[in-house]
Structure 1
Amino acid sequence: MQDFFALFFSKFIVAVAGLIPILNPLGATPIFLTLTTSYSSEERALLARRVSIYSFLLLLFSMLIGTYVLAFFGVSIPIVRVCGGLLVAAAGWKLLNSPENTGGASEPIGSAADHARRAAELRQRAFYPLAFPFTVGPGSITVAITLGVGIHGQDAHQLAIPLGSALGAAALSGIIYVCYRYGDRMLRLIGSTGTVVFLRLSAFILLCLGAQILWDGASGLAGEFLVAHPWQFAPTGQG
């Protein structure tokens, strides 16, 4: 039993320590605020709760069966990074060129049909793009897949590994919720002009993050190509 708890807590700590620098909930909060400026405080709170739940499911899914899914479709990690980088960069460019919107309450919802349509919109945006790829992106998924490699072994205390990893993902989703839920207080402190500057800078940082993820994926693909075809770049003899 002592070995079980030791393995459980070690996997919990490894999951949190390995993922929190990549997820960076505090750093992702400005992006969340940038993407939700048109929503009211109540709607933003609902989005924060849904994003945290979806983030937990994405991390857990990646840990448990991420390697099997990628292998089934024949997709490599560098390809995931390239595609995810394109998504993030495109969204950052769109936000950078969008009309100024300093937030505030959304327009009142009239009929029940309007309310249902607004609720459906919130559910959709909570997963894409807020949970994926902005909160749990290609980098987080890659780390989660790596952390989940040892889950399917045959150790006597093997149950401790998925339990520790799942609890680590749950703790991270709780941190995400707290950061997103109370992040809008920052906008109220800096005022309307500061909000415009803050949101534009956040959009530019988002564009840079997308470019960085894309570059990492392209570099990985180039490395795989060089390993698979070394003869094409071997130095030729001189006659």
Structure 2
Amino acid sequence: MQETYSFGLLALTSFFTLLNPLGTMPIFVSMTSELPEEQKRKTARKAVVVAFITILVFAFSGQLLFRFFGISVNSFRIVGGVIFFLMGQDMLQARLGKIKMSEKESEINAYVNDISITPLAIPMISGPGAITNGIVLMEDASTFGKKLVLVGSIVIILALTYVILISGTRISRKLGPTGNNVLMRLMGLIVMVIAVEFFFSGLKPIVQDMLK
């Protein structure tokens, strides 16, 4: 039971930092600034649902991908560690990904459908870091209980992401530019620590096999 709790805590913290809802929030606010409140909620809801489906599909199909391409989970951990480290480095320097937004559509619904899937759901919410994290943690989930905990953790973090996005205007106003930068740097530091753990947990078995 203790092992399951530890696994759940790892899943919650890693997905929160990698999904980075506080980093996505200012971009969501700027892209939906001219939309009515109900359309903002619809955009956030659709983006979160698409992100959930994307992460879940990759998490459960990870083993098939490994077998098809003939790669090992340890190699994936190393690559994932590198990806996380680079993401954390950008976050530590408070650099947000630059999003090129097309001109506003004549109909609001068309615009909502356009930005909710790309770039909000993919790659901002369910980016390479979150997808890699889902695959690796699903591989580590050796029991059915752990798999349920993993899926539950994804649901919890994405629900929190939805709340943060629809509350983005108020949160950004209260935190201010300095507060947003501090939070992003803090999350970047956590992501880099997770990256080191992932990298060496994948490297250690490979080095041991080489020495044998």
Please state which band the TM-score falls in when normalised by the shorter chain.
Answer: 0.5 to 0.7
Instruction: Name 1:56's counterpart in structure 2.
Output: 52
Contact 1:54–1:131 (CA under 8 A) maintained in structure 2? no
TM-score (norm 2): 0.64
Q: Cα deviation per residue 1:62-99 (whole Å; 9 max; x = unaligned)?
A: 44322222332215241342243155236536753899
Q: TM-score, normalised by structure 1?
A: 0.58
Quickly say closer, same or farther: Cα 1:168–1:207, change in 2 above 3 A. Answer: closer
1:78 aligns with: 77
**Residue in structure 2 matching 1:136, options 130, 134, 147:** 130
Question: Is the 8 Å Cα contact of residues 81 and 213 (structure 1) preserved in structure 2?
Answer: no
Aligned partner (choices 18, 24, 31) of residue 32 of structure 1: 24
Of 165-174 and 66-75, more deviation after overlay is shown by: 165-174
Q: Deviations over 1:132-158 (max 9, x none)?
A: 2388354344223433x556xxxxxxx
CA distance in 1, matches of 2:59, 2:96: 36
Alpha-carbon contact 1:15-1:168 (below 8 Å) kept: no
Amino acid at match of 2:200: S
* Pair member with larger Rg: 1
Gaps of 5+ in 2: none
Equivalents in 1 of 2:146, 2:22: separation in Å? 33
One of 207, 211, 221 as aligned partner of 2:192? 211
Within a 5 Å distance, the mapping from 1:1-239 to structure 2 comes to 19-24=11-16, 28-41=20-33, 42=37, 45-73=41-69, 74-76=71-73, 77-86=76-85, 88-89=87-88, 91-92=90-91, 95-96=94-95, 109=104, 112=106, 120-133=114-127, 136=130, 138-147=132-141, 149=142, 168=152, 171-172=155-156, 173-188=158-173, 190=174, 194-230=175-211
Segment of structure 1 superposing worse, 27-36 or 16-25: 16-25
SS at match of 1:36: helix
Count of paired positions: 196
- Where do 5+ consecutive residues of structure 1 fail to align? 1-12, 100-105, 152-159, 232-239
1:119 is displaced (CA, Å) by 5.1
